[in-house]
Amino acid sequence: MKTICKRGSRVTGKTFGRRVNFKTALYLALLCFFCLSPLYGQNARRAPIDVNLIIDGSVSLLDVKDEIYTWLSGRLDDILVEGDNVTVWSAGPSAKVIYSGRINGSAGMDAVKSSVRELSGSGDNADFSGALREASSLQSSSYSYTLLISASPAALSSVLAGPQANLLRFSRVEEFPGWRALVVGLNIETRVRRAASAFFGS
């Protein structure tokens, strides 16, 4: 068997192939996640998924709340389909769930939008870390869609500097005046590693 040496370590061709193929699998998974996820709502035949909405609940929200609500309402119409399990977090001084339910007709969609419209901001901190940690642990379907809305640059920076920074490792960011939206790939790397391990039989 061919042996490939790298920095003094002995790596077999088979092991090297696994590493290359894992990187390929991870790349394809991320490509699928970030390029195709906005189209899911247009495909009513897809299986239901977990959808997490994590919204800044600090006072920073107040100046941009109307703009966020308008944008998010349109995005939800594109994303959500019948049967999706939706959880909405208010990331204020401490993260808390303000809505949890299954999309069942227009009433379910209206309930999600209503929870966002009624959200009020308080305090200077936005506990994104707590919401991300809980969303990551509660995932019940094989795939999830997590959208984080931040109006607090300082709060987002604190997440990146803290222990939950790895939860934002695979994220796509959309910038708007005064706020930003992040599509977060929760648990993507773990699922790709499991799939690659199963594929290679190790």
pLDDT band at 187 (very low <50, low <70, confident <90, very high): low
Domains, the chain, with CATH or none? 47-192 (3.40.50)
Q: What is the pLDDT of residues 79-121, one digit of tens each?
A: 999 999 999 999 999 999 999 999 999 999 999 999 999 998 8
Contact 55, 149 (CB under 8 A): yes
What pLDDT shows up at residue 39? 39
**Whose CA is closest to 54, among 102, 111, 98, 85?**
98
Residue 176 has pLDDT above 60, yes or no: yes
Q: What is the mean pLDDT of the chain?
A: 75
Q: Which residues contact 92 (CB under 8 A, 6 or more apart)?
A: 57, 58, 121, 122, 123, 125, 126, 127
- What does the alpha-carbon distance between residue 10 and residue 17 come to, in Å, rounded to a whole number? 14
Per-residue HEC secondary structure of the chain comes to CCEEEECCEEEEHHHHHHHHHHHHHHHHHHHHHHHHHHHHHHCCCCCCCEEEEEEECCHHHCCCHHHHHHHHHHHHHHHCCCCCEEEEEEECCCEEEEEEEECCCHHHHHHHHHHHHCCCCCCCCCCHHHHHHHHHHHCCCCCEEEEEEECCHHHHHHHHCCCCHHHHCCEEEEEECCEEEEEECCCHHHHHHHHHHHHHCC
Structure-model confidence comparison of residues 46 and 80, the more confident one? 80
Note if the pTM is more than 0.85.
no
Residue pLDDT, tens place only, 148-168:
999 987 777 767 666 666 666
Q: Rounded to whole angstroms, what are the CA distances from 175 to 58, 153, 183?
A: 19, 12, 12
**Is the distance from CB of 75 to CB of 147 less than 8 angstroms?**
yes
Task: Give the Cβ contact number of residue 159 at 10 Å.
Answer: 23
